[in-house]
Amino acid sequence: MLMYANEELQALYQEIVQRNPAEPEFHQAVAEVLGSLGPVLSKHPEFRDDRAIERLCEPERQIIFRVPWQDDAGRVQINRGFRVQNNSALGPYKGGLRFHPSVTLSVIKFLGFEQTFKNALTGMPLGGAKGGSDFDPKGRSDGEMMRFCQSFMTELYRHLGEYTDVPAGDIGVGQREIGYLFGQYKRMTNRYESGVLTGKGLDWGGALVRREATGYGLVYFVQQMLEIRKEHLEGRTCVVSGSGNVAIYTIEKVQQLGGRVVACSDSGGVVHDPDGIDLALVKQIKEVERGRIEQYVVRRKRGRFLPGASIWEIPCDVALPCATQNELNGKDALALVKNGCRIVAEGANMPTTPDAVRVFHEHGVAFAPGKAANAGGVATSALEMQQNASRDAWTFEFTDRRLGDIMRGIHQRCYETAEEYGTPGNYVNGANIAGFIKVARAMLALGVI
């Protein structure tokens, strides 16, 4: 299949597909980035000569390991653990851990690849990595979670360190899991090395705002997209898919800024509440009870639960996909356009399929890719690392202000780069090109390693 006008990139893509068979998510993430790089190679022949793209597409290290553990019934369970250390030109490897049955090497590789560009865009000294397991936390007891995390870390700890690789959370990994992982790391190494993991609890080295950061940062980015159009969030109708950490704090910030979120979801279906989602109730169900979003309508009679429905059929001005990869396809994009949606920004990693992105671009919908719009999470992880390194603890207001500044910086970098390379308003090109140039320059400076 011919994807690029540029023959060189086409050949390169083909080679990457052949070298990495059966990894569709990784191919998709690579294809999206290569689609932006044609003009960069023309302007910067040094990146071609030093094979910067090929190097970026070959992770520095890929670790796959067995994770054996015992469930509450005493049965032995076996899962597979992964850590893909994609690139460390800008700093120690950094990126989350995902515990979900859909996790494969392809998923972790695409996430590690994306993370490298995202982390570069933040302007912080961070390399890129991702890890996780095909373990399903759904229905597991606290004891099972702890034993699984301990077994996972018993293998992974030798590859980590505050100057080596610093994991955090992602889907299925929150503060509870980071606690069990940190505890086991501390026990194995006999070191209280706070900076080895981020997303920690406030009592043991965690930072204020880290929990809220991805969602808040996403909304700060959307504010910038609106400001350029001389608009604001107040009075706008928003739809936020998902109901995990990213979705919850996205909804919170939209509501604080006067927007109305009318729907959220989980894998079981969609809650539509035209009067505005009751966030306290969502937090109770998801953060405290670890339950299903279906519970919302049992307790709040005004809402409707639509099992198995597409959330993108609900009319909105701003759509914020915050669940998982490939959750918004071409058909969904057409429904959003038809209903008047004008802004889409990704809170999740690669939730929008390539044909959906095409639909948005064709219809003049402003579209922000996750590697720019959801970078507030990892940027605030870098702030947590700064606090750990200086044994300090900053206030909520100070940290939140820094997050706001970082998101404004990312927006500006993407916006200006898109303009410089002849595609004004195209945040996909802006993010891919700005992220690539930053990492590629550092790679070249460090020699052939």
Q: Which residues bind ligand GLU (CB under 6 A)?
A: 94-96, 168, 170, 198, 349, 377-378, 381
The CA R_g of the chain, rounded to the nearest whole Å, is 21
Nearest approach, Cβ of residue 72 and ligand GLU (Å): 28
Closest approach, Cβ 149 to ligand GLU, in A, equals: 16
Nearer to ligand GLU, 116 or 184 (CB): 116
Residue (195 or 430) nearer to ligand GLU, CB: 195
Q: Which residue is nearest to ligand GLU (CB)?
A: 96
**Other C-beta atoms within 10 Å of 295: how many?**
17
Smallest separation, CB 173 to ligand GLU (Å): 8
Cβ of residue 319: shortest distance to ligand GLU, in angstroms?
19
94 in active site:
no
DSSP code for 284: I
Distance of CA 202 to the CA centre of its chain: 22
Catalytic residue among 94, 118, 130, 186: 130
Residue with Cβ nearer ligand GLU (170 or 212): 170
SS3 sequence of 100-146: CCCCCHHHHHHHHHHHHHHHHHHCCCCCEEEEEECCCCCCCCHHHHH
Q: What residues have CB less than 8 Å from 71, skipping those under 6 apart? A: 77, 140, 144
The number of beta carbons lying within 10 Å of the beta carbon of residue 333 is 27
C-beta of 94 vs 109, nearer to ligand GLU: 94
Instruction: Find the shortest distance in angstroms from Cβ 381 to ligand GLU.
Output: 3
Using alpha carbons only, give the angle 182, 370, 262 rounded to the nearest 5 degrees: 100
Which long-range contacts (C-beta less than 8 Å, at least 24 apart) are formed by 354-359? 354/28, 354/31, 354/32, 355/329, 355/330, 356/328, 356/329, 356/330, 356/332, 357/32, 357/333, 357/428, 358/330, 359/330, 359/333, 359/334
Residue number with CB closer to ligand GLU (197 or 316): 197
Q: Which residues are catalytic?
A: 130
